Amino acid sequence: MQDRDIERLRNSIMTKLNLELGNTPEIVDISLRILPDEVCLVPEKREEVTTEGGLDVVVNKKELATTVKRFQSAGVRVSLFIDPELEQIDAAAELAADMVELHTGKLANAFTNEIAKLELERLRAASEAAHTAKLQVNAGHGINYKNMALIHKIPHLVELNIGHSIVARAMFVGFEDAVREMLGLMEGYKG
């Protein structure tokens, strides 16, 4: 994506603009110039195709504090993409983040029922803790048409970040049907 692409998107989007970004000065400055509605800070590394784990808020709290304050002072809501660990929830609350996005990748990639059960319990506990801390709870990474039933078991979710599986499905059925199918799987979520 080029700078002018995001500028055009900011000027034409009819819903909220949510940018996912690493906590680097150049990217933060560009984002503050664009003024998205929300940002999600992730542990971005150049060599990764996608993030493979959550941001370590505990270790990076000092650097993140400045970024969170800068965005919030500009009226931008801040989410932190974290692993479902209670110490990460506590650190996000201490930073006064608006939201956390729980990393669901380990649940999505669980290759046994035992691993899935353990990971689902971690996600449930983290979601409860975030909700208690007055953080909006979102989730994402690896969510697809097959594991949506497991996602329904995580309480307090407000938003799901699902991209790859919808785009991949759209190759076969088109975007309208791919989105409709995913929305159908989301129906009945009781939060």
Residue 60: both structure tokens together: 């990076």
Q: Is residue 156 part of a domain?
A: yes
CA distance 31 to 51: 19
Instruction: State the residue range of the domain holding 26.
Output: 3-186
pTM of the model: 0.92
Q: Are 140 and 105 in contact (CB under 8 A)?
A: no
In a domain, 191, yes or no: no
| 180, pLDDT greater than 80 | yes
Look at residue 49 in the predicted model and tell me its pLDDT. 45
Q: What is the CATH number of the domain that holds 148?
A: 3.20.20.70
pLDDT digits (tens, 9 = 90+) for 125-168: 999 999 999 999 999 999 999 999 999 999 999 999 998 999 99
Number of domains in the chain: 1
Mean per-residue pLDDT for 174-181? 96
Q: Which amino acid belongs to residue 2?
A: Q
Alpha helices (runs of H) in the chain, residue ranges in sequence order:
3-12, 25-34, 61-73, 86-94, 105-108, 113-132, 148-151, 164-173, 175-186
SS3 state at 116: helix
Residue-wise pLDDT for 8-63, tens only, equals 999 999 899 999 999 999 999 999 999 999 999 999 765 544 557 899 999 999 99
- pLDDT tops 60 at residue 99: yes
Domain membership of residue 47 (yes or no) is yes
